[in-house]
Amino acid sequence: MTVLNTNHILTFSCIVSAAVVILGRTCSCLQFTYPNFNTSQKDDFSFSPGSSITNGSLYITPNTGNISHQSGRVVYARETLKLWNSKRTSLTSFRTEFVLNILPQNGSAGEGMAFILTNNPSLPSNSSGQWLGVFNNQTDGAFENRVVAVEFDTRKSYKDDLDGNHVGIDIDSIKSVDQIPLSNQSITLSSGSDVWVGIKYDGTTLLFEVTLIQYSTSGQQHVSGVSRLIDLSLGLLDDIHLVFAGSTGDFTQLNQIKSWNFTTIDNVGRGHGRKVLLALIVLTIFALCLFAVLFMWRRLTRQRRLAYRNLEKMIDAHGPVKFKLKELRRATANFSPTRKLGRGGFGTVYLGYISRMNLEVAVKRVSTNNAKSDRGEQEFVAEVNTISKLSHRNLVKLIGWCHEGAELLLIYEYFPMGSLDKLLYASARVSNLSSETSVLELTWERRYRIICGVASALDYLHHGSSKRILHRDVKTSNVMLDEDYNARLGDFGLARVIQHDGVTHHSTQAVAGTRGYMAYESFFTGRASLDTDVYAFGVFIMEVVSGRSPSSSVSYRNQDESAGSTREAMYIVDWIWRHYGEGNVLAAADTVLRGVYDKAQVDCAVRLAVACCHPNPRERPSMRTVVQVLMGGAPAPEPPYVKPAFVWPPSGSQSEIQLPHVGLLFTGGQTSFCSMTSTSLTGR
């Protein structure tokens, strides 16, 4: 270890070069700009019969001859969009902008146009009229269409169509999953004047956003838009064609695209040919220098390194900021009790103010008992390491950390609104005071968005990155709210990283969690798993829908013909399952909502919740499926009407032993399921 070994350098630079070459090759960096269109560029596109480049614009449907009952498509033909980013760590993010102009030819417009992402670029037959050149009578609704479309509809042509001037998002069917009227925003698609359209997709958060802008003759700007969580990988395959489609019917219009640009946003390097070569050389040289410097530095700081070895080794070079204890003491008024925000995970959380960043933060001080033990430090390092690699808009961001002496501290984003449980139960209190005037903060719309957000975050943890991450403590007090009432899932104190490979590692040791959110089987296995997270998420939905705490029993009114109504104490899972089984899903909704909610969404949420809380872990949906259902990409599950008895081990394994209804075991109030030894229950 005295000289810089040349073999090391060579090996290292080879690895770097290989990495750069691989990144360069698989880079999905589709990008183009057409300020206008010129007939000399016609080879960049493929046109269906009658569509063309005319007068500097793309004409999606014919502009001469018989223009009624026509449909057409223009496909960008030079390259396809890759579904995944180059590292295949997330879906490709992209941004596209175009200017459309729709000119009616018969006074009234018909029918509309669409921007579509699809694996099937060719124009379907008989796709004129209401089908917008995207679907036809036979293909409508079929998964095989592999179409995600933004429609610009200028005619109401069937029952579910909103009106003759709307924008909508269509997935495999002309019946939009979301549609927004434009007339009340003073935007008219078919006015013959330009409409600027921007579409943005974030491959990690799955947010698909459409924005429309039109200027009135007086120069006033009118803006509208629609957005939705869409997991493109559920419907689309890898090579995605970018397509404009349009149609006419009895009434006709010219469907024009005047300019268009498209950019993929990939956090991995982009560039071609010489740029890649140049980057490779620069990077190699840089890496060599870095390597040499690191090597020297490591030797010089060997002593210090030993002290911190466990910690430093595991924290990414680009990881969170390292703070000095002194600064954090100052930021939290020396951990003053008045700054205490609460207790969570295995430590206390304080409000801090970092003056050099002008930033309010939440400082989690890992309790000294934990910190002293080996286990505390290990968990701390695991937490820092895991969280620093995660980035999702529904996760609380880790800003930094500090480890000095026996003090272990984590610094997180601070959310002044606090955690969801506070608001959930505060709003219940308000309604008890029966003040009709008080404004309900947690409206159904917000609750549903919170459920979607937490689902998306969990899906990201479970399936979104190369490592599987369990949350292990999903509950309302671990969900923060930002100022727009978006959910931010926090507290990964218990998170453990599980590799994808190795079948035996799909669960981890050391059961942890919060009563009321713990799945039945965890009392037997003593393990957390993807399934126990899903169970906790099911309870979470129930809590958000009903505004009732899972740790206390609720009374259920039995409508008994003979005895009038009797009451029975039940825990939330049984309570909601009972309502579901009786086809009375809406009775589970929080009374403070006063019936103001989207019935279909409540129904969907309750079905999902019940499915997630299935006693048999194998029957629970994955978070992937949950997200798919929440965004309307899959039908809501239909769990059995009567909660099945808990059987351990789950059916399929040998030596099944039937247990009494678990609800009964729980209704004994504090009678703990845990207190029975697993041997007495499993007979093993």
Ligand X SMILES: *[C@@H]1O[C@H](CO)[C@@H](O)[C@H](O)[C@H]1NC(C)=O
- Known binding residues for ATP are 364
The structure tokens listed for 231 are: 């997991």
User: Do 620 and 614 meet the contact criterion of CB atoms below 8 Å apart?
Assistant: yes
Numbered residues of the known binding site: 364
* Tokens found for residue 169: 């998002």
Per-residue contact track with ligand X, 322 to 351, x per CB under 6 A?
------------------------------
Name the minimum Å distance from CB 41 to ligand X: 8
Residue list 62-81, contact with ligand X (CB under 6 A): 63, 66, 68-69
Closest CA to 455 of 633, 314, 589, 598: 633
User: By C-alpha distance, which of 301, 252, 228, 307 is closest to 631?
Assistant: 228
From residue 68, alpha-carbon distances to 47, 112, 356 in Å are 18, 12, 66
What is the C-alpha to C-alpha distance for residues 684 and 673, in angstroms, rounded to an integer? 17
Residue 250 in contact with ligand X, rule: CB under 6 A: yes
Q: Which is nearer to ligand X, 67 or 609 (CB)?
A: 67
Query: Smallest gap, in angstroms, from Cβ of residue 46 to ligand X?
Result: 19
* Alpha carbon separation from 361 to 341, 349, 487 (Å, rounded): 11, 10, 17
Active site residue 266: no
**Smallest separation (angstroms) from ligand X to the CB of 382:** 42
State yes or no: residue 558 binds ligand X (CB under 6 A).
Answer: no
Judged by CB under 6 A, the chain residues 162 through 181 that form the site for ligand X are: 181
Output the smallest distance, CB 108 to ligand X, in A.
8
CB of 98 to ligand X, least distance (A): 5
- Chain Cα centroid distance, residue 77: 31
User: Looking at this protein, which amino acid is placed at residue 471?
Assistant: H
Please work out the total of residues on this chain that contact ligand X, with binding judged by CB under 6 A: 27
* Residue of the chain from 90, 176, 248, 259 that contacts ligand X (CB under 6 A): 259
Backbone angles phi and psi of 290, in degrees to 5: -60, -45
Query: Is the separation of the CB atoms in 225 and 29 below 8 Å?
Result: no
Angle at 50 between CA 44 and CA 53, to 5 degrees: 40
Helix/strand/coil (H/E/C) assignment for every residue in 430-496: HHHCCCCCCCCCCCHHHHHHHHHHHHHHHHHHHHHCCEEEECCCCCHHHEEECCCCCEEECCCCCCE
Binder to ligand X among 5, 11, 137, 369 (CB under 6 A)? 137
Rounded Cα gap, residues 163 and 597, in angstroms: 23
Q: Which is nearer to ligand X, 129 or 347 (CB)?
A: 129
Q: Report yes or no: 116 and 147 within 8 Å, Cβ to Cβ.
A: yes
- CB-facing half-sphere around the CA of 360: CA atoms within 13 A: 9
Tell me the C-alpha distance between 511 and 473, whole Å. Answer: 10
Closest CA to 553 of 665, 447, 645, 474: 665
Could you say which of 5, 31, 126, 591 contacts ligand X (CB under 6 A)? 126
Nearer to ligand X (CB atom), residue 67 or residue 408: 67
- Nearer residue to ligand X within complex by CB, 126 or 438: 126
Catalytic residue among 170, 178, 266, 473: 473
DSSP 503: G
CA atoms within 13 A on the CB side of 355: 7
Asked whether position 125 contacts ligand X by CB under 6 A, the answer is yes
- Tell me the window of 21-29, 250-258, 383-391, 569-577 that interacts with ligand X (CB under 6 A): 250-258
Q: How far is the CB of 145 from ligand X (least distance, A)?
A: 13
Where do we find the tokens 């970018």? 242
Applying CB under 6 A, among 40, 218, 432, 653 the residue interacting with ligand X is 40
Distance in Å from the first CA to the final CA of the chain = 54
Q: Segment 215-244, which members bind ligand X (CB under 6 A)?
A: none
Options 5, 11, 31, 38; binder of ligand X; rule CB under 6 A: 38
Q: Retrieve residue 17's tokens.
A: 């070069």
Question: Smallest distance from the beta carbon of 194 to ligand X, in angstroms?
Answer: 10
For ligand X, the closer CB: 256 or 465:
256
Tell the smallest beta-carbon distance from residue 512 to ligand X (Å).
44
3-class secondary-structure state, position 430: helix
Nearer Cβ to ligand X (138/651): 138
DSSP state of 331: H
d(CA 283, CA 409): 35
Residue with tokens 């669409």: 114
- CA 396 → CA 318, 350, 377, 451, 512, distances in Å? 18, 15, 21, 16, 20
Find the binder of ligand X among 47, 251, 401, 571 (CB under 6 A). Answer: 251
Considering only residues 46, 119, 120, 261, which one is a binding residue for ligand X as defined by CB under 6 A?
261
Closest CA to 398 of 315, 472, 499: 315
Query: Closer CB to ligand X, residue 137 or residue 584?
Result: 137
Binding flag, residue 252, ligand X (CB under 6 A): yes
Rounded CA-CA distance 242/579 in Å is 46
Query: 68 vs 267, which CB is nearer to ligand X?
Result: 68
Smaller CB distance to ligand X: residue 28 or 71?
A: 71
Q: Quick one: which of 76, 98, 517, 535 contacts ligand X (CB under 6 A)?
A: 98
Q: Residue 649: is the preceding peptide bond cis (ω within 30°)?
A: yes
x/- letters, 498..517, toward ligand X (CB under 6 A): --------------------
Taking CB under 6 A as the binding criterion, the range among 248-256, 316-324, 639-647, 658-666 that sits at the site for ligand X is 248-256
Closest distance between ligand X and the C-beta of residue 232, in Å? 22
From the list 97, 441, 568, 603, which residue makes contact with ligand X (rule: CB under 6 A)?
Answer: 97
Q: Which stretch binds ligand X (CB under 6 A): 204-212, 245-253, 418-426, 517-525?
A: 245-253
| Positions in the binding site for ligand X (CB under 6 A) | 33, 35, 38, 40, 54-56, 63, 66, 68-69, 97-99, 106, 125-126, 137-138, 181, 184-185, 250-252, 259, 261
User: Which residues form the catalytic set?
Assistant: 473
